[in-house]
Amino acid sequence: MEYAKTIAGLFAMLLLGPALATDSDPLQDFCVADLDGKAVSVNGHPCKPMSEAGDDFLFSSKLAKAGNTSTPNGSAVTELDVVEWPGTNTLGVSMNRVDFAPGGTNPPHIHPRATEIGIVMKGELLVGVLGSLDSGNKLYSRMVRAGETFLIPRGLMHFQFNVGKTDASMVVSFNSQNPGIVFVPLTLFGSNPPIPTPVLTKALRVEAGVVELLKSKFSAGF
């Protein structure tokens, strides 16, 4: 009997797992995230009582201002996920603004929980998307100019690079309130604790000195 229950439980996990691992459909008009709430939360945040939510949770001006591009990457990401905009809680949407200095890049990265669609607001960007092994690791890339759009399927590595001589900017939307981000260089060489050097020397087919040099570049993050 216990064995049968265990098997039934495993089947239930397999059937329900995909549904529980995506942004759920809302069951009410609004569920403003209670970011300080102590209630148990699964794939989201508990809702504030509407009496405490105020009346401006549907609006945000955060993306109106350009970010500071004086960074090692020459770019600045302004996030507007559920933490920055609690009104998006349970709605399965969020946005980012990315500003680029000339020659600036939004380095290769992955959003593990969302598909991305974006529009270039100013300038000209080289947008690249890397397919998986199934597509032969093919690089799909194009120069995307102001007013043009691009699409990044969920989980695929991608990047943007300002090829122009002037500042550039883009705004992107995600089908998740918390799309997440994995910056490939930072993940490989700035993880905590660090990935053992022998693992990286074997994987990257380089000498240990090269790996240690790259680790030193990312020891303080981005």
Give residue limits of the domains in the chain.
68-85+92-180, 183-221
Q: Which CATH class is domain 68-85+92-180?
A: mainly beta
Q: Residue 41 has what pLDDT?
A: 60
Q: Is 161 exposed, middle or buried (0-12, 13-18, 19+ CB in 10 A)?
A: buried
Q: Residue 52 has what pLDDT?
A: 87
In degrees, rounded to 5, the angle at the alpha carbon of residue 95 between the alpha carbons of residues 45 and 148 is: 160
Q: Residue 155 has what pLDDT?
A: 94
What stretches in the chain show pLDDT beneath 50?
A: 10-21
Q: Residue 202 has what pLDDT?
A: 98
Q: Residue 7 has what pLDDT?
A: 52
Helix/strand/coil for 10: helix
The annotated binding site for oxalate is made up of 96, 106, 111, 116
Tokens 């990315």 map to which residue? 98
Phi, psi dihedrals of residue 150, rounded to the nearest 5°:
-150, 165
The annotated binding site for Mn(2+) is made up of 109, 111, 116, 158
Q: pLDDT tens for residues 24-69?
A: 666 567 788 888 876 656 667 888 888 888 888 999 999 999 999 9
Q: Residue 14 has what pLDDT?
A: 46
The annotated binding site is made up of 96, 106, 109, 111, 116, 158
Which DSSP string do the residues of 134-152 spell out, in sequence order? GGTTPEEEEEEETT-EEEE
Q: Provide CB contacts within 8 A for 47, sequence distance 6+.
A: 28, 30, 31, 32, 33, 34, 89, 90
